[in-house]
Homo-oligomer: A and B are copies of this chain.
Amino acid sequence: MSVDAQLPDKVCLHRGEHLQLIACGHWEYATRTLATGAVGIVAITPDERIVLVEQFRIPAGRRVIEIPAGLVGDQSDLVDEDLLVAAQRELLEETGYQSERWTQLVQGYSSPGLTDEAITLFLAEDARKTAPGGGDDTESIVVYEVPIREADAWLATKLAGGVGADLKLLAAIHLANQAVNRS
């Protein structure tokens, strides 16, 4: 289908509390009901470690290793939250790290055939631990600091142990390598 094609009308098949199922002609996809965006953080410590999180994910049915990330605008008091502010909030909440050196990186889709979810990635350099982290009351997040140059081998060991991985993690390792090689 070309970019100029007239798309069929969108029909809401079901509106849940957090997700909606949409049909557009023969195509179906999921979209979030409240969130206006999503952010992910490539956080790098002064000694070139990347800050990663592990948490139980209900859809996956197991613990999954990811970069710190979160939704924007999904809480009624934060509807107009700026992407960078959301990234700073999520990094602190999930990991207890803060940074003074933020750079907005690429925005991309997590699975553009299945959802309109687009995630804006941020680089947070010189990230330092200032708080316990671990997420909000509903989350139980384990935080790792992994040397960037050993991250692939570390991940392979974790996967062999039965933990899952978010593929954005590999994108983040790529971006972290770029940042370290540049500096």
Contacts and interface: CB of A to CB of B under 8 A. Distances in A.
Q: Main SS of chain A's interface residues? A: mixed
A129 interface: no
Interface residues of A, number: 69
A84 interface: no
B7 A58 contact: yes
A89 interface: no
A14 interface: yes
A111 to B, nearest CB: 4
Given A56-B5, A58-B29, A174-B173, A159 B63 contact: no
Contacts of A46: none
A111 B118 contact: no
Contacts of A156: 106
A156 B164 CA distance: 29
Contacts of A1: 56, 58, 138-140
Contacts of A178: 152
Given A116-B60, A171-B167, A23 B16 contact: yes
